[in-house]
Structure 1
Amino acid sequence: MEDLLCEIRDCRVCKEHLPLGPKPIIEANKNSKIVLISQAPGRIVHESGIAWNDQSGKKLREWLGVNNKTFYNVENFAILPMGFCYPGKAKTGDLPPRKECAPLWHETVWKDMENVQLKLVIGSYAANYYLGKENNLTEKVQNYEEYLPEFWTLPHPSPVNRFWRMKNPWFEAEVVPKLQHKIADILT
């Protein structure tokens, strides 16, 4: 697994498309219990080199009901974004994740993971890739139980998505407590 992670972190496949250059962000361990399949690192994460080290990460840890120590323990959580590098800025938020990463690396990473008990699919890019495009993200989040026991779908916790959360208060009122219970069960 360590050799694979080094190879991914050295990846330069789409370097000419990255405004800040390549800096692949991935964390995994053969024993990771929960895998966070998300969009792509933002600028702050690119600069720090620490996944989810931003406001989105703060909100995600709140939803999961875990502290930093638990979250950054790779035996607990693996971080497998759809795009490993910061893709650049869009009109609102960041550009979509680069399309090269997931097909190039995900399957190989899965082969080295032996203890995955839950895959958290975060945001529409990951949800469409792993769960298909039949339903929109809100439907996938509402019907998360249909994807269990393998997947649990979440909206992206970005501050840009605060309007989605305001329009869908059922998510934090009803789904998040169940998610926290599931995470606690896996980690104990």
Structure 2
Amino acid sequence: MSVLEDLLTQVRACRICEEHLPLGPRPVVRASTTAKLLVVGQAPGTKVHASGTPWDDQSGKRLRQWLGLDATTFYDASQTAIVPMGFCYPGKGKSGDLPPRPECARHWHQQLLDLLPNIQLTLLIGKYAQDGFLKHAARPTLTETVANWHEYLPHYMPLPHPSPRNQFWLRRHPWFEADAVPALQQLVSDLVKKT
């Protein structure tokens, strides 16, 4: 077993914040030392918690469209690593899911990232991922950060969440799908071998 495989086994057995998880722990993460693309979202929803497959919902369908990837290529861990800010479903809040539990990023992220030497582009999906990775370089709002996506290249590409709940945001900001998505598809195409 490789060092990364051993670490992933530990991550999947993690129970650090079990007492705070309404559906119990089920860490959802995928990675390989050969992956060139890293997808960082916030945390699994209930459907992903049930299936154990990241982005296995309508948000994932839209994300794959934005990336120009079919499901087979997207889920090929040798090409695409999927490491959310929180690995387990955090529970329901007043207006959607609760924020990702902070324990995952604090305890596991650096250990995982250190074992992903080939990552060339990291997609930062949503404000939690943007704040977590960009730190002080993130703008005050998600919209400002995403609008300035080109400033974070070549290492990072900030994105809004592809949730169906974000239809209003996408309608108000047509530049995202007109300008950022084609650029994103080209970047991803250059990195990932489609099957």
TM bin (shorter chain)? over 0.9
Runs of 4 or more off by more than 6 Å in structure 1? none
Pick aligned residue for 1:4 from 7, 26, 44: 7
Hey, what does 1:161 align to over in structure 2? 166
Is the 8 Å Cα contact of residues 93 and 160 (structure 1) preserved in structure 2? no
Q: For 1:70 and 1:179, how far apart are their aligned partners in 2?
A: 16
Q: How far did residue 27 of structure 1 move?
A: 0.1
TM-score by length of 2: 0.94
1:152 and 2:157 matched: yes
Tell me the TM-score normalized by structure 1: 0.97
Deviation at 1:174, TM superposition (A): 1.1
Matched, 1:68 2:71: yes
Residue 95 (structure 2) aligned to one of 92, 95, 117: 92
Deviations 1:12-68 (A, max 9, x none): 000000000000000000111100011000000000000000000000000000000
- CA RMSD across the alignment: 0.9
Q: Which whole-Å CA distance do the structure 1 matches of 2:94 and 2:175 have between them?
A: 28
Q: Given that residues 139 and 145 in structure 2 are in contact (C-alpha distance below 8 angstroms), is that contact kept between their aligned partners in structure 1?
A: no
Query: Aligned to 1:40, which of 43, 59, 80?
Result: 43
The equivalent residue for 2:176 is: 171
Provide the rounded CA distance (Å) in 1 between the counterparts of 2:130 and 2:97.
Answer: 17
Distance in 2 between the 1:142 and 1:15 partners?
37
Using the TM superposition, give the Cα deviation of residue 135 of structure 1 relative to its aligned residue in structure 2, in angstroms: 2.8
Count of residues in Structure 1 that have an aligned counterpart in Structure 2: 188
Find the aligned partners of 2:139 and 2:165 in 1 and give their Cα distance: 24
Aligned identity (percent) is 53
Identify unmatched segments of 5+ residues in structure 1. Answer: none
Whole-angstrom CA distance in 2 between matches of 1:93 and 1:58:
19
Structure 2 residue 148 is matched with structure 1 residue 143: yes
Within 1, Cα distance between the matches of 2:157 and 2:140?
14
Q: Would the alpha carbon gap of residues 134 and 172 (structure 1) be closer, same or farther in structure 2, given more than 3 Å must change?
A: closer
Instruction: Choose from 181, 184, 187 the match for 2:186.
Output: 181
Q: From 46, 51, 54, give the equivalent of 1:51.
A: 54
Q: Which amino acid aligns with 1:146?
A: E
